[in-house]
Homo-oligomer: A and B are copies of this chain.
Amino acid sequence: MPDTHDCPGCAAPDLAFAAHDHAHCSHDALERAEALTAATGARLTPVRRRALEILLEEHKALGAYDVLARLAAEGFGNQPPVAYRALEFLVEQGLAHRIQRLNAFTACVHPGEDHAPAFLICRACHTVAEAEASGARQSLEAEAARAGFQVERTTIEALGLCPNCRGQA
């Protein structure tokens, strides 16, 4: 299993926006997913695995129905729960994330590493990058603590323009 230094997500915070060997990038994530689920006993079944592969194809967020259409075309069930269940599993296992702002899902770029992700969503090309949010998360927790609030889950997302689309505007 690769260590942290091999993790493309960690090595390049702007990974999603930069040209890179995406085949390697997604292959790596898939391998990690297999290792992780094997380690915890979670079952990465064919639908689930395929759903993850679909999310890994691009650094974008896909709606459940987009994923569903792809799965259905490949012979899996064609009703919404098929997609929602697979996606829910991936999110629970930390293999994918839900982007609240888009009601959509994106593959995690460094599964298995404890991380507090923030998402950078380009409104022009719809690329979604996963950035480190530990600083933001800490601030948020501190503010919450002031109000006596106990944080369980956080949503930290930014909408804007990625470096590529900025250039074109």
| B132 close to A150 (CB less than 8 A) | no
Number of copies: 2
Report if A43 contacts B (CB, 8 A).
Answer: no
CA A131 to CA B123, docked complex, whole Å? 26
Report if A160 contacts B (CB, 8 A).
Answer: yes
CA A152 to CA B124, docked complex, whole Å? 12
Return the CB mask of A149-169 against B: 1 if under 8 Å, else 0.
111111111111111001000
| A129 close to B100 (CB less than 8 A) | no
Report if A51 contacts B (CB, 8 A).
Answer: no
> Which residues of B sit under 8 angstroms from A141, Cβ to Cβ?
158
Identify whether the interface residues of A are mostly helix, strand, loop, or mixed.
mixed
Q: Which of B129, B140, B161, B163 contacts A156 (CB 8 A)?
A: B140
> Which residues of B sit under 8 angstroms from A101, Cβ to Cβ?
100, 155
| B133 close to A158 (CB less than 8 A) | no
| B135 close to A139 (CB less than 8 A) | yes
CA A138 to CA B156, docked complex, whole Å? 12
| A143 close to B159 (CB less than 8 A) | no
| B143 close to A136 (CB less than 8 A) | yes
Return the CB mask of A117-152 against B: 1 if under 8 Å, else 0.
010101100000101110111111111101111111
